[in-house]
Amino acid sequence: MNDTIFIKGLVIHARHGVMEHETEVGQRFVIDLELTADLAESSRTDRLADTVSYSNVVASATAAFKDANYRLLERAAGAVADAVLTAFPRIDAVKVTVHKPHAPIAAIFDDVGVILSRSRRS
């Protein structure tokens, strides 16, 4: 079954980046999560115990993202994916999108970032 829980637009201030000012001052990042899980039971029972708490996922993802100052978005996204899969056995796969809208790039752009997908089977 391919049911999905999503969390979009989670804004976190963190100090990730290659440049010195990024690790000193930090900046705003935006995270989107797509969690693949079997939601059949919770769709019948209407019990939180039969699904995944969105609030707990947000807390886990936020802690993992802010836990260290990573140089690369790829590593920061990987830390989030690892934390979610470790903390929530009901989740079979996770897709983490990290947006860095204020990346220090000498260009005009709307957004840059990474999308990383991980599953228990990979």
Catalytic position from the list 8, 66, 95, 100: 100
Residue 49 near residue 91, CB atoms below 8 Å: no
Element (H, E) at 81: helix 73-87
Give the residue from 119, 121, 67 showing the smallest Cα distance to 96. Answer: 119
Q: How many CB atoms lie within 10 A of CB 18?
A: 10
User: For this structure, is 8 an active site residue?
Assistant: no
Catalytic residues: 100
